[in-house]
Structure formats: structure tokens, C-alpha cells
Chains A and B, each alone.
Chain A
């Protein structure tokens, strides 16, 4: 795989678009781009592109050649990352070699950027890092590119929140999830690379990029945004900091919920109201929304959060959550701990029920590869978790309308 022909092209008014060509081993070629405001000095190194394409190179087993100079420290870190991924995902990632001219280490810029989605993690991070004055939000990552209208509405709200916190929101966009890269598992593998790459695009402005933690530091399961992997996207001049991993999600919410800006803007959902990806509202039905609403309920603040629709909410939904995945289980455990601490035994009981059901589902999963018996885990899940999130999927837009958007 080769990254070549970096160019700066005009984009929509007020934006510049940095584009590279990616040549794959099979001879095919794609353009990958990242748009950012035209007043931001763009990076001319290969750093953001190496960070971005590394997971795809490792997944495809193709050596990665970058026709741009890359920071020497990032090259070392990238080797370590590939090593980690081949250990975490032996089925998915293969060892690859990296070829690029190495740039000698350089001095960091003073600015601090932070990814900002108005979620629990990002509010927690920006509130405890007042020195971070540049928040970034990237259309095309959590929110699909074709939802640019929703992105405009969302970022208008984020801009207002950023302004209230004395910072500036930098709107960015990328097509990377619409390329071959988009087939990579997002949540447990590739997300760290895309978010770090967005920070590295600002390397001429910021010497540190904060990525709000999504899992606690003691969770050692493989994950896309992980305390072990995220800092490995650092260069000599831009350190990528995985911030807030000392706190669980429930503790974070407990810390920030008194803040009016948080209660008015909290947005955690990445399912979207049409179920086809994040938009500017919480669906209030998916697992992540329900988890957050449970914590808000425990803290007695659910009714104060205007961005959630409590009409379909009830505590019993907690018992119908599938927490088979260890990361989801850890979220459930921390909610339970908080509920216990606050004396909400009704929620504790439902969470215990969900944990019990999930353990059973996990046991039954052993039959998933057996003839006839594979139905067992399927039907059990339907019975146990059936009450939650009957999401009415809306047809995705046609290719033509997406292009027009």
C-alpha cells in the first residue's frame, strides 16, 4: 500500500481539503481526504496519513509506503502498534513493514486540541482541561458523510457549547469510512487511528491532542480507543493523550452532571434516530442511550437533560440489555456500583438480571457453530433481550442522494 500525491484542494466555502491517493497491492487506487477550516495551517508531513492508514495496512498485510516524510518517533510507535494489533487480533492484523523518510524529532506547538462530541467522555475531558482551546469534530467518523445537514445542526450546538467554555470548535470532515478503510471494524480496532489522524492534521497548531477515554484504564481487552494504543499515535511534536481513563463512565457523568452546559447538550447516541448512524439527537432507545439515561436517573437528573426523550424509558429496560461483550459488561458493572451507592436497588436488581441473562447467552453461544443447535443462542437472546430497542430501521439513502449531500 502506498500513500502518495498529497495535495491541498478547494472544498466548500471556508474549508480546505487535503487529499492523498492510496494505491493498494491489487493495483486499485482510492482518494482519501480530510477537510478542515482554511485558516488552520495544515500538516504537510505524512504523520496523519500514516496514523490513518496503519490499521488498514496491518489488516490487509500490505507493507505501508508513505511518499511524505514521517516523524521518526511516530515510525517507532507505529511498529509497536502493529505488534500490539497482531497480538490482540491475530485473525485480523498481520505484521507489516513501514517505509518512509524519517523526520528528526521537533519541538511541539503550545496549543492543545480535544475531540469533542458533547458526549460524557468529551465533556468530562474538556471541563477538566481548560487549557484545551481547540475542540475538533469530524463529519464522516461517527456521523456518516451524507448526514451533513444533521452535522451542521450538531456542530452549531457544539460551537455554542465550545464558545461557552472559551474554546473554538474546528469542524472537519473525511471520506475515509467510505473507502476500503471503512470495512475495518470501527469500535474495537480502527477508531483510534482515525481520531488520532484528525489531531495530527493540526500538528502545526497543537502540541497535544486529547482523546477522551472510552474505557477505564484497568480494562485490558482489545479496543479501538485504548489507553495502551492511543498514545502510540504520538509524534515527537504532538502527543496523543488518552484522557480520563482513571474514571469510569458513571463517575464521569456524576462529576459533570451539575454543569448546565452538559445537561443542555449531552449527546451520546451513535445509532441515530433513523438507526443509520449518528445524527444531532439521542435516539433514547439504543443500549448506549439507555445506559446513560440509567445513570442520569440514578443521579436524579434525567428530567433535566433536554436532549433525551424519557417517554419510552423505564428501569426494566436495564434488565433487557445484552452485556456479553466484556466492555459492555464493565459499563454495566460501574452503573450497578453507582446505583448501589445511591440506594437505587430497583436498578441494581435489573442490572443483575441483565448480567445473569448475558452469562446464560454467553454459555449458549458455544452452540453457535452446531447444526440445529445454533438456534438456541439466537432464540434465547430474542427472549431475554427482546424488550429493548426494537429499532425501526429506515432505508438508507440511495447513492445518488448521498452524493448530492
Chain B
């Protein structure tokens, strides 16, 4: 895989586009781009592109060649990342070589930026880092590119929040999830690469990038943003931090519960109201919304959050949450712990029920490959988790 033909072009309305061509081993070629405000100096090194394409290169087993110089430290880190991925995902990742000219280590700039979505993790990070005066939000990652209108509404709100916190929101956009890259598992593997790439694109202006932690440091299983992997996207010119992993998600919400600005603007959903990806509202029906509502309920703050629609909410929904995957189970246990601390036995009971049902579902999953019996896990799931999130999928818009 070769990353070549870097160009920086003017784009619509005071914006610029940093783009490269990616030539794959099978001879095919794609353009990948990032849009950003024209007044910000975009990196002209290979650093953001190396961070971005590394997961795809490792997954496809193709050596990664860059026609741009990359930071020497980032190259060393990238090699360590590949090594870790091959241990974490032995079925999908292979050892590859990174072929690029390296630049000697250089001193980072003093300014700090953070990704910002107005979710629990990002609010926690920006509120405890007042020195961070620039927030970035990238259209095309959590929110699909075709939802431009929703993005305008969302970023207008994020801009207002940033203003209240004395910071500036930097709107960015990328098409990377609409390319071959988009087929990579987002949550468990590739998200860290693109978030770090967005930050490294601004390395000439910022010396540190904060990525709000999605899991706490005790979680031992692989995840796309992880305290072990995220800092490995650092270059000598820019440190990438996995911030806030000292707190679980429920503990973060507990710490934020007294902040009016958080309660007024909290936005956690990435399913979206049409179920085709994040928009500017919480669907209030998906697992993530429900978990957050349960925490807010346990903290006695749910009614103070105008961003959630309470009409369909009941504590009993907690018992219908499926938490077979380790990450989801970890989140559910986290909520349970908080509910117990706050004496909400009704929530604890329902979460115990969900954990029990999920254990059973996981056991039944062993039958998935057995003729006839494969129906058992399917029907058990339908019975056990039926109450939650009957999302009416709306047809996707046509590409045009």
C-alpha cells in the first residue's frame, strides 16, 4: 500500500482540503481527504497518513509505503502498534513493514487540543483540562458524511458550548469511512487511528492532543482507543493522550452531574434517530442512551437533561439489555456499581437480570454452528431482550 500525491487544495467556504492517493497492492487507487479551516496550518508530513492507514495496512497485510517523511518516534511507535495488534487480533492482523523517510525528533508546540462530541468522556476531559482551548469534531467519523444538515446543527451547539468554556471548535470532515478503510471494525480496532490522524494533521500548531478515554485503565481486553494503543500514535512533535482512564464512565458522569452545561448538552448517541448513524440528538432507545439514562436516573439528574426523551424510558428496560460482549458487560457492571452505591436496588435488580440473561445467551451461542440447534440462541435472544430498542430502520438515502 502506497500513500502518495499529497496535496493541499482550497475547498468550499474558507476551508482547505488535505488529500492523498492510496494505491493498494491489487492496483486499485482511492483518494482520502480531510477538510479543515483554511487558517489552520495543515501538516505536510506523513504523520497523519501513517496513523490513519496503519490499521488498514496491518489488516490487509500490505507493507505501508509513504512518499512523505514521517516522524522517527511515530515510526517506532507504529511498529510497536503493529506488534500489539498481531497479538490482539492474530486472525486479522499481520506483521508489516513501514517504508518511509524519517524526520529527526523535534520539539512539540505548547498548545493543546481535544476531540469533542459533548459526550460524557469528552466533557470530562475538557472540563478538567482548562488549558485545552481547541476542540475538534470530525464529520465522517461518528456521523456519516451524508448527514451534513444534522452536523451543522450539532456543531452549532458544540461551538456554543466551546465558547462558554473559553475554547474554539474546529470543524473537520473526512471521507475515510467511505473508502476501503471504512470496512475495518471501528470500535474494536480502527477508531484510534483516525482520531489521532485528525490531531496529527494539526501538529504544526498543537503539541498535545487529548483523546477522551472510552474505557478505564483496568479493562484488559483490546479496544480501538485503549490506554496502551492510543499514546502510540504520538510523534515527537505531538503527544497523543488517552485522557481520563482513571475513571469509569459512570464515575465520570457522577463527577459531571453538578455541571449545568453538561446536563443541558449531553449527547451520547451514535445510532441516530433514523438508526443510520449519529445525528444531533439522542435516540433515547439504543443501549448507549439507555445506559446513560440509567446512570442519570441513579444520580437523580435524568429529568434535568433535556437532550433525552423520557417518554419510552423505564427501569425495566435495563433487564432487557444484551451485554454478551465484554465491553458492554463492563459498561453494565459499571452502571450497576453506581446504582448500588446510590441505593437504587430496582436498577441493580434489572441489571443483574440482564447480566444473567446475557450469560445464558453466551452459553447458547455455542450452538450457533449446530444444525437445527442454531435457532436456540436466536429465539432466546428474541425472548430475553425483546423489550429493548425496537428501532424502526429508515431506508438509507440514495448516494446521489
CB neighbours of A131 from chain B (8 A): 72, 104-105
22 A-B contact pairs sorted by A residue (CB < 8 Å): A72-B131, A76-B246, A79-B246, A83-B216, A87-B217, A104-B131, A105-B112, A107-B110, A108-B107, A131-B105, A216-B83, A217-B80, A218-B87, A218-B88, A227-B228, A228-B217, A228-B228, A231-B231, A241-B73, A246-B76, A246-B79, A246-B81
Inter-chain CA distance A57–B99, complex, in Å, is: 46
Please state if A128 and B76 are interface contacts (CB–CB under 8 Å): yes
User: Which residues of chain B from 234 to 250 have any CB-CB distance to chain A below 8 Å in the complex?
Assistant: 234, 236, 239, 243-246
Q: Output the nearest chain A residue to B106 by Cβ-Cβ distance.
A: A110
Please state if B218 and A84 are interface contacts (CB–CB under 8 Å): yes
CB neighbours of A231 from chain B (8 A): 231
1/0 per residue, CB under 8 A from A, across B47-84: the answer is 00000000000000000000000001100100111111
CB neighbours of A236 from chain B (8 A): 208
Instruction: State how many residues of chain A have any CB contact under 8 Å with chain B.
Output: 32
CB neighbours of A336 from chain B (8 A): none
Please state if B218 and A83 are interface contacts (CB–CB under 8 Å): yes
1/0 per residue, CB under 8 A from A, across B365-398: the answer is 0000000000000000000000000000000000
The yes or no answer to A357 lying at the interface (CB within 8 A) is no
User: Which residues of chain B from 118 to 142 have any CB-CB distance to chain A below 8 Å in the complex?
Assistant: 128, 131
The yes or no answer to A127 lying at the interface (CB within 8 A) is no
CB neighbours of A128 from chain B (8 A): 76
How far apart are A72's CB and chain B's nearest CB, in angstroms?
Answer: 8
Please state if B83 and A243 are interface contacts (CB–CB under 8 Å): no
- Contacts A80-B217, A83-B218, A87-B218 given; indicate if A108 touches B80 (C-beta within 8 A): no
Inter-chain CA distance A246–B228, complex, in Å, is: 12
Q: Output the nearest chain B residue to A226 by Cβ-Cβ distance.
A: B228
The yes or no answer to B220 lying at the interface (CB within 8 A) is yes
Inter-chain CA distance A246–B96, complex, in Å, is: 13
CB neighbours of A87 from chain B (8 A): 217-218
Inter-chain CA distance A83–B227, complex, in Å, is: 13
CB neighbours of B227 from chain A (8 A): 80, 228
User: Which residues of chain A from 125 to 142 have any CB-CB distance to chain B below 8 Å in the complex?
Assistant: 128, 131
The yes or no answer to A207 lying at the interface (CB within 8 A) is yes
Inter-chain CA distance A82–B217, complex, in Å, is: 10
Contact of A245 among B80, B82, B108, B217 (CB under 8 A): B80
Please state if A105 and B131 are interface contacts (CB–CB under 8 Å): yes
CB neighbours of A156 from chain B (8 A): none
CB neighbours of B80 from chain A (8 A): 217, 245-246
Q: Output the nearest chain A residue to B80 by Cβ-Cβ distance.
A: A246
Inter-chain CA distance A245–B244, complex, in Å, is: 23
The yes or no answer to A239 lying at the interface (CB within 8 A) is yes
Q: Output the nearest chain B residue to A106 by Cβ-Cβ distance.
A: B110
Inter-chain CA distance A322–B135, complex, in Å, is: 52
The yes or no answer to A112 lying at the interface (CB within 8 A) is yes
Inter-chain CA distance A333–B208, complex, in Å, is: 38
The yes or no answer to A220 lying at the interface (CB within 8 A) is yes
CB neighbours of B228 from chain A (8 A): 217, 227-228
Interface centre among A112, A217, A220, A228 (most CB of B within 10 A): A217
How far apart are A189's CB and chain B's nearest CB, in angstroms?
Answer: 16
How far apart are A310's CB and chain B's nearest CB, in angstroms?
Answer: 32
How far apart are B330's CB and chain A's nearest CB, in angstroms?
Answer: 12
Contact of B83 among A108, A217, A228 (CB under 8 A): A217
Contact of A84 among B83, B107, B217, B243 (CB under 8 A): B217
CB neighbours of B82 from chain A (8 A): 246
Extra contacts, 10 of them, besides A83-B245, A208-B236, A246-B79 (Cβ < 8 A), are A80-B227, A82-B246, A84-B217, A105-B112, A105-B208, A217-B87, A228-B228, A245-B80, A246-B81, A246-B84
Inter-chain CA distance A108–B207, complex, in Å, is: 10
Inter-chain CA distance A131–B231, complex, in Å, is: 20
